Structure 1
């Protein structure tokens, strides 16, 4: 019976119902130890099973960071071997996903499982499995005791919390809030996740007095009634903690007012009093189980207990009947982890050591490769002070974690082994490697875990201690160090170290190691090539890689050479270079990151050259490769998906772009999420979606931490502000972007053009207000922005002439030129015509559909001002049709305003709806209301004429008529009426 948890269960059930309806959610259930989190979640799992949901439950263990993905393993293993309808589905889904199957006790790690992409593969496989199960029925995934979660499990929790959106999945995690001390690794994770809109927190609070009474009455059912005095004392001493209360009540101890007996503040004594009621054999079994850990294997506990079969069987039945151990699968779990902790703490030091040694001896006899056995063996051996065994097991555990794509855990195992290196005899024989190469393995694991600076620090120390005569090792160390230095932007040292690595090995005969070093050095030359050696060097390195059979190095060099030439030469064949690199890397099997990098640049190059159909095909192929290899959420997997979105956005297929944008969650916690989320702003800003403000609020805290996020998000925030009529805010965004973006890059042209749009609006306001100072400032800023745009075309990042500029870049440059003229109050027809033509990418019916429409908006305005009303109407109608088809609300509003002012839309699609005025404005014609609006803005007759495409004399007549109809004597009084009436 569930007591006092109706609200909490209702919240959990609501999350499950939302998930069943297609809105995935995460619920983090917190509370003190013993407060009833597991009981609450058990009620939810029972309800979910009754509703036909697939239920997967896994638990974490108090084993530190030594067993990655333990709760996931538990959940999958239990679900696959349960007698439920979905067990067969789970087994089939696991068979189709080797990355998950190898987690299970009978799983095997395949070649390359320890690659840098392993974790992304695993995460993608988890997401795919859950999504597949969710297609059949709603899924409830419960991860219990997250305060004991290993680092990889915490990363998995974070990943799922961020990416689950429309899947029929409800993820529930429980953790002890009283365990989350200030430095607890779960604490920042919880703080971050609770910021996400699809993550909710449910706090399980202690019982109130009435709830304690009901709880004790339930416990006492069938025996003597619980007295009010007992309820009061139990409640006071337990402070409403159900587990404490149950233990106090069940112990039969007197919990008097003085607190002398029972000691509820010392829970261990209370728990141990229940252990003492067991037989000697029962107590022995409980002590053995406490050393084993959170979950006890039946066979192991029977052996380590040292009792005959009949005695140990009877002892286990006794312990289970007292609800100290609960049957679970092929073993047992403690009824509550606090019970296990109390028993373990009560063991004598020698007894504890001997039991750990017994478990280590049994584990050492298990077949090699048994899932988790090496990590457990290392744990028990270390606790048993068997350092040689702990050392060897730590090395094996590190390699197992590498295979399971758990680099953080691999690093910790390797690091422990290195700490024990000097304490064991013949460590090289036990480890199967020397100290330097084990240190290299630790550094590589550290780097894969994202701890690049730690990897650099370790490699520097290893290099200092390495034998200079071992040139192969020296080359390997330097090649990795150079790569990691480059990743943390230590470019000068990176290039110097890479050059040393190349020099250490002879060029003849060609070797894979030498080719890898050449490839790393070539990458350092990308932006530091004062001697101009890059092209010839890379070509020679490619020949060396081919002779050595170093396919991965060859593919990497092809990508690097292609990128280098693309920025310096009008090389029309660069797309084929990237395609070839992708084929090579994909065929190599162990170069998936290089393959993804090549696939991205292949699609991106086609996109830059205006081949949108080819870009879609290339991006689709790259994404398919990512899906097939389980790396959709790797860095280049995300970038490729973002590029695919941009191609559809550019080509005007906004329905598909919107579908893809749904994957770009609004919520943002870290820089990668901000980068992905910012892409969705392209569509949202263009459509005037209400989610723009929310997305910007999520991204804002991070846009100052990453140049690309700042460029993308604030550049689009500037456009959003301009559509809302706020050029000052837009200009502020542009200034900030220019402070952080490399102004030599092509992306700076778009920022400059957007900034010029803002300055043109500010200049118009300054002219209307007669503010010469503001007008002068706008012109100065506009000149600076135009210089930036032109300089991008003039030189590349090395200050050399840029070989070519793609269609989009040329279009933005033309727009920048046109906006600078508009800043001076001149609507230049030919400049706007050129911008519109360039954005077609040479295809009158294609190209960048939205930007063509935006350019036609300004072109129509310029044509109307210059008296070419027929062509203005043609351009205007074409822009309206595009804006309506795309759903580009802000642009459509601007076009309707232009159509009304220039009388382009009368009786045609896109004409602004008209409603009859009331009050003082009832006597005014439509045109007079337009004039009054401009009068209220402070415009003079000449400026009114320019805005409405009429002569100054006609504007003067309209103003006179307005003054008469409103019965006012001045423009100021007319403006006051306009403001009062909401114009």
Structure 2
């Protein structure tokens, strides 16, 4: 494809420095691949190219395997041995004689493990002698996991290279050279470069489908057959001499292009048009041929075979290759992909073992509801077969998954059933694990004494059996319960158990030890910086091993810390990433809901009530103080902001009664403070001491609330802090409360123009932001302000940078904060 109107974008890539990331975004056919290939052809440094393929279930770490074939060395060895690839990748990029460019194309088709590795690399790229160029479609749905990946990149290393459609002038110039009517060509193509290229190479016809199918119809039958096989296989490799002669015919006809020892379509739009035009029977037959072709080649990624097997409608073939692909993905730590492969075959009588493996991978991927359903089915099959030990093991898993799903009542019933079932036979490993799971539920409910008792019993049985895994599991429960009680050395014991589990390859338990330490510290410790460090350690471990459930939960916990620290934009970014996960209920997304709801409420955003209603519903189902307490605090704040002091007090009392019943000092203190604010009795608290204590702990927001109970000077400081956070509704309530208390000299809030100015926005940028927040597209903004769409695009990029926003949604929230809407 010709590089029309891409000089600026090419210059942007050519000027990319070490430790920087270029995001090349645009719709299908906009020229992303052509631009990147032109850049790669001109650069002198080595280019490591990886590609993502449009498979039903993506290849596990697919683009990184491509990159490893070019980089070689330790990275290739790590991937071949199915070890975590990050250390080897960093070693390769720190080589003093290299300045490689890593290019990953079509990131919107990437598997979850590849995206996770990309985030880990992006957070370290600044210190490396390397550059990273990523292409993706920016017209994907808002919930696409790629958005969460990009939001996790450090903003100061990212360079966005958007690719707009071609201008009317450019299309007119090219159409004139080809002797075509400019208006007709633009109407047919809309300025999409691929469609323009195709329209100018054929009689003016219409859509790309007609153009490519017309070319295929002109081919002789053997060449047409090969082109259709290439459409189904996405890329034709391993052609023999006879086939290469046919490939040459296809290339000459403008149907295929030859590259890297194989052949394929110039663009996915063309390939898909051909595949979609195939009759169902013909498509199935071609997928069957693809399986036979790939079976004969060593080293083929099982995901490719599974992809074609799914379309053959042959159950035995599907069962065989999906199970192989699932096991391969699982050993590479690609748990979401492994679960997807198992999901395709569990209804095909693949065996109860496959059902249990599916449940385990879904659990690790953070899909507790899916895993829970699979475990229930497996338990039923085991009971029907009279296999009481494995039935009890599944009941124990049902307990764990019911807890993750937010149903603590079911979790308690299931673990009691598991203990009863497994106690029928001689004491064994599964009974020890069931006892430990019961200890875990007591620990999570802050029931310290029974947690220690059941956990100790489980650990003793496990030690007698030589069962290292259950001993670690039980030890983590006991150590966490002791940490809740404030015992010295409990946190260090969790770290030791983490190291023991990690050394034994027990990633789930190793992650849980760090997660428990971090989450418990959030509401028992008095040093927010230390809490954040513990969260980062746990997050890095879970992130590197694709443990989606822990990752989702920790993003929310980190968001909660950042709300307290006054880092609200970062908190919202974490919350959005957490809530983008497939698991929308239960424990995993709950901290993110609370963090988002607190910010929404303080800023006066209309979604706050619905967010906190959802949080309350999920928290009450858990029956646990550590879920209900934060929601009670957030809802008390919310109703206070709305001027509904009675409802605020009721929310605070709900949580306070539970905190007092389990004897949790920190929650009791926090909820009593929330109740005090709601009942309007500031004289009952030493606000100076409280503010000083919160300041020492790094708890900026709590300090602001304490200052708000003080004299005029303290209240003025609190108002300035709230205004800086964009907490307009919280500041308005505080001003009203100060007037009620008779405090004089209350400063006014910032005017919208002043707030926009303080954010560094020009008058025109403020206008663009106002329309953006109204949901207008770039084209609609351009029409409203009589600007070109390209100018609007530049304004939007500048606005995102000035507001430190990673998306239009965050920019819209900032517009509300600045009072522009």
**C-alpha contact 1:30 1:37 (8 A) present in aligned 2:** yes
5 Å-filtered alignment, 1:531-930, equals 534-565=451-482, 571-572=487-488, 574-575=490-491, 577-590=493-506, 592-602=507-517, 616=530, 631=544, 675-684=557-566, 708-709=591-592, 711-712=594-595, 794-796=660-662, 802=663, 805=665, 826=683, 831=686, 835=690, 890=721
Closer/same/farther in 2, CA of residues 133 and 891 from structure 1, 3 Å limit: farther
Closer/same/farther in 2, CA of residues 786 and 164 from structure 1, 3 Å limit: same
One of 237, 262, 266 as aligned partner of 1:331: 262
Partner of 1:30: 27
In 2: Cα distance, 1:351 partner to 1:818 partner:
73
- Gaps of at least 5 residues in structure 2 are 725-737, 748-821
- Secondary structure of residue in 2 paired with 1:795: helix
Closer/same/farther in 2, CA of residues 694 and 677 from structure 1, 3 Å limit: closer
- Secondary structure of residue in 1 paired with 2:258: strand
User: For 1:903-956, what per-residue CA distance to the aligned partner results, in whole angstroms no more than 9, with x for missing partners?
Assistant: xxxxxxxxxxxxxxxxxxxxxxxxxxxxxxxxx98999xx889x9xxxxxxxxx
In the alignment, does 2:203 pair up with 1:214?
Answer: no
User: For 1:382-431, what per-residue CA distance to the aligned partner results, in whole angstroms no more than 9, with x for missing partners?
Assistant: 6566553443222212212222333343334334434444xxxxxxxxxx
Residue 506 of structure 1 deviates from its aligned partner by 4.7
Partner of 2:364: 448
One of 381, 385, 392 as aligned partner of 2:320: 392
- Secondary structure of residue in 2 paired with 1:63: coil
Closer/same/farther in 2, CA of residues 239 and 599 from structure 1, 3 Å limit: closer
5 Å-filtered alignment, 1:71-220, equals 71-74=63-66, 76-77=67-68, 80-81=69-70, 90-92=71-73, 94=75, 98=78, 101=79, 107-109=80-82, 139=101, 141-144=103-106, 146=108, 149=109, 152=112, 171-175=133-137, 188=144, 202=162, 204-205=164-165, 208=168, 211=171, 213-214=173-174, 217=177
User: For 1:674-728, what per-residue CA distance to the aligned partner results, in whole angstroms no more than 9, with x for missing partners?
Assistant: 653453343437xxx9x699979989999x996534654666788x78xxxx9x9
Partner of 1:5: 5
Residue 543 of structure 1 deviates from its aligned partner by 0.8
Closer/same/farther in 2, CA of residues 492 and 847 from structure 1, 3 Å limit: closer
Closer/same/farther in 2, CA of residues 716 and 504 from structure 1, 3 Å limit: same
Partner of 2:776: none
Residue 442 of structure 1 deviates from its aligned partner by 2.5
- Secondary structure of residue in 2 paired with 1:560: helix
**C-alpha contact 2:257 2:264 (8 A) present in aligned 1:** yes
Residue 30 of structure 1 deviates from its aligned partner by 0.2
Residue 188 of structure 1 deviates from its aligned partner by 5.0
In the alignment, does 2:292 pair up with 1:295?
Answer: no
**C-alpha contact 1:13 1:44 (8 A) present in aligned 2:** no
Closer/same/farther in 2, CA of residues 214 and 498 from structure 1, 3 Å limit: same
What TM-score, normalized by structure 1, do the two folds share?
0.57
Closer/same/farther in 2, CA of residues 25 and 788 from structure 1, 3 Å limit: farther
**C-alpha contact 2:522 2:561 (8 A) present in aligned 1:** no
5 Å-filtered alignment, 1:391-410, equals 391-410=319-338
Residue 488 of structure 1 deviates from its aligned partner by 0.9
Closer/same/farther in 2, CA of residues 30 and 473 from structure 1, 3 Å limit: same
Residue 478 of structure 1 deviates from its aligned partner by 1.9
Q: How many residues align?
A: 718
One of 339, 360, 368 as aligned partner of 1:411: 339
**C-alpha contact 2:113 2:334 (8 A) present in aligned 1:** no
In the alignment, does 2:44 pair up with 1:46?
Answer: no
**C-alpha contact 2:51 2:105 (8 A) present in aligned 1:** yes
**C-alpha contact 2:212 2:273 (8 A) present in aligned 1:** yes
- Secondary structure of residue in 1 paired with 2:105: strand
5 Å-filtered alignment, 1:149-548, equals 149=109, 152=112, 171-175=133-137, 188=144, 202=162, 204-205=164-165, 208=168, 211=171, 213-214=173-174, 217=177, 226-227=178-179, 243=194, 246-247=197-198, 250=201, 266-276=210-220, 282-283=223-224, 285-291=226-232, 293-298=233-238, 301-302=239-240, 309=241, 311-322=242-253, 324-337=255-268, 339-340=270-271, 356-367=287-298, 370-372=299-301, 374-380=302-308, 387-421=315-349, 435-466=351-382, 467-506=384-423, 509-526=426-443, 534-548=451-465
Closer/same/farther in 2, CA of residues 891 and 558 from structure 1, 3 Å limit: same
Residue 603 of structure 1 deviates from its aligned partner by 6.0
In 1: Cα distance, 2:677 partner to 2:434 partner:
49
In 2: Cα distance, 1:238 partner to 1:835 partner:
65
In 1: Cα distance, 2:39 partner to 2:634 partner:
58
Tell which structure's C-alpha radius of gyration is larger. Answer: 1
Residue 274 of structure 1 deviates from its aligned partner by 4.7
**C-alpha contact 1:26 1:200 (8 A) present in aligned 2:** yes
**C-alpha contact 2:565 2:699 (8 A) present in aligned 1:** no
User: For 1:149-186, what per-residue CA distance to the aligned partner results, in whole angstroms no more than 9, with x for missing partners?
Assistant: 26537965996899799788655434496xx7xxxx78
- Gaps of at least 5 residues in structure 1 are 82-89, 102-106, 111-120, 218-225, 303-308, 422-433, 639-669, 763-773, 797-801, 841-845, 865-875, 877-882, 894-935, 948-983
Closer/same/farther in 2, CA of residues 512 and 834 from structure 1, 3 Å limit: same
Partner of 1:658: none
Closer/same/farther in 2, CA of residues 861 and 205 from structure 1, 3 Å limit: closer
In 1: Cα distance, 2:283 partner to 2:321 partner:
20
**C-alpha contact 1:783 1:820 (8 A) present in aligned 2:** yes
**C-alpha contact 1:216 1:249 (8 A) present in aligned 2:** no
Closer/same/farther in 2, CA of residues 216 and 442 from structure 1, 3 Å limit: farther
- Secondary structure of residue in 1 paired with 2:263: strand
Please, what is the CA RMSD of the aligned residues? 6.2
Closer/same/farther in 2, CA of residues 681 and 200 from structure 1, 3 Å limit: same
In 2: Cα distance, 1:817 partner to 1:352 partner:
66
In 2: Cα distance, 1:698 partner to 1:244 partner:
35
**C-alpha contact 1:752 1:788 (8 A) present in aligned 2:** no
In 2: Cα distance, 1:817 partner to 1:237 partner:
64
- Secondary structure of residue in 2 paired with 1:205: coil
Residue 209 of structure 1 deviates from its aligned partner by 7.3
Partner of 1:641: none
In 2: Cα distance, 1:42 partner to 1:233 partner:
25
Residue 795 of structure 1 deviates from its aligned partner by 3.1
- Secondary structure of residue in 1 paired with 2:236: strand
Residue 554 of structure 1 deviates from its aligned partner by 1.8
User: For 1:104-155, what per-residue CA distance to the aligned partner results, in whole angstroms no more than 9, with x for missing partners?
Assistant: xxx2435xxxxxxxxxx67x77996898699975856342384xx2653796
Partner of 1:430: none
Partner of 1:913: none
Residue 94 of structure 1 deviates from its aligned partner by 1.9
**C-alpha contact 1:237 1:265 (8 A) present in aligned 2:** no
**C-alpha contact 2:565 2:698 (8 A) present in aligned 1:** no
Closer/same/farther in 2, CA of residues 857 and 142 from structure 1, 3 Å limit: closer
Closer/same/farther in 2, CA of residues 818 and 375 from structure 1, 3 Å limit: closer
